[in-house]
Structure 1
Amino acid sequence: MATVRERLRPQRKETRHQIIAGLSFGFWSGLLGPKYEELWRDCLHRAFPNSSGKRKQVAVAVERVRKFRNRLAHHDSTDNVDIPFELRQIFDLAAYIDTDAARWLKRCSGLMTVYAQRPVTIDDTVIVAAKQAWPQYESCAAYVCQSGRAFRPIERVAFYADREVKLDVPAVLHRRDNVEWSSEEAARLGASDDRFDRKIAKVIETSDATWTDGRYQVFLLTGPGHPDHRQLRATLPHHGTGRGSAFVQRQRYVSLHSLENAATTADL
Structure 2
Amino acid sequence: MSGDYAATDVWDLLSERRLDPFLKAAGGDRDAALKLYVWSSRTAAVSFEVVGHLEVLLRNALDRELRAYFDESSIGIPWFLMPVPDGADLSEAVDAVRARLRPMKRESRHQIVAGLSFGFWSGLLGRKYEQLWRDCLRHAFPNSSGQRKQLSVAVEGVRKFRNRLAHHDSLLNVDVPFEIRRVIEVASFIDSSAAKWLQEVSTAMDQYALRPIAVADTAVVAAKDAWPLYQHCNAYVCQPGRFFRPVERIAFYFDSHIQSDIPRIQYRRDNVEWSAASADRLRKSVDVMDRKIARVIDESRSHGWIAGSYQVFLLTHAGDPVHRQLSCPLPHRGIGRGSAFTQRQRYVSLHALEVSTTTDDL
Fold conserved (TM > 0.5)? Answer: yes
Equivalent positions of 1:19-34 (< 5 A) are 19-34=112-127
- Aligned partner letter, 1:262: S
Determine if the alignment matches structure 1 residue 220 to structure 2 residue 314.
yes
CA distance in structure 2 between the partners assigned to 1:190 and 1:16 by the alignment:
63
Determine if the alignment matches structure 1 residue 203 to structure 2 residue 269.
no
CA distance in structure 1 between the partners assigned to 2:355 and 2:128 by the alignment:
41
Q: 1:168 aligns with which of 252, 261, 284?
A: 261
CA distance in structure 2 between the partners assigned to 1:169 and 1:214 by the alignment:
27
Give a deviation string over 1:101-146, Cα, whole Å, max 9, x none: 2222112212111221111231110000011111111222211001
Determine if the alignment matches structure 1 residue 75 to structure 2 residue 75.
no
Equivalent positions of 1:226-245 (< 5 A) are 226-245=320-339
Aligned twin of 1:146: 239
Number of aligned pairs?
268
Give a deviation string over 1:29-76, Cα, whole Å, max 9, x none: 333334334433444333334444444443332222122222222333
- The structure with more helix, counted as a fraction of residues: 2
Q: Is residue 229–residue 235 contact of structure 2 (8 Å, CA) maintained in 1?
A: yes
Aligned twin of 1:117: 210
Q: Is residue 120–residue 257 contact of structure 1 (8 Å, CA) maintained in 2?
A: no
Equivalent positions of 1:26-65 (< 5 A) are 26-65=119-158
Of the structure 1 ranges 24-33 and 37-46, higher mean CA displacement relative to structure 2 is found in 37-46
Aligned twin of 1:85: 178
Q: 1:96 aligns with which of 182, 189, 207?
A: 189
Q: In structure 2, list runs of 5 or more residues that go unmatched.
A: 1-93
CA distance in structure 2 between the partners assigned to 1:41 and 1:217 by the alignment:
52
Considering only CA atoms, is the larger Rg found in Structure 1 or Structure 2?
A: 2
**Secondary structure of 2:219's aligned partner:** strand
Q: 1:6 aligns with which of 90, 99, 122?
A: 99
Identity over aligned pairs, percent: 63
Aligned twin of 2:85: none
TM-superposed deviation, 1:12: 5.0
Q: Is residue 136–residue 142 contact of structure 1 (8 Å, CA) maintained in 2?
A: yes
Determine if the alignment matches structure 1 residue 262 to structure 2 residue 341.
no
TM-superposed deviation, 1:172: 1.4
Q: 1:159 aligns with which of 245, 252, 261?
A: 252
RMSD of aligned alpha carbons: 2.2
Q: Is residue 214–residue 351 contact of structure 2 (8 Å, CA) maintained in 1?
A: no
TM-superposed deviation, 1:254: 0.3
Cα gap change, 1:262 to 1:3, in 2 (>3 Å): same
CA distance in structure 2 between the partners assigned to 1:191 and 1:48 by the alignment:
49
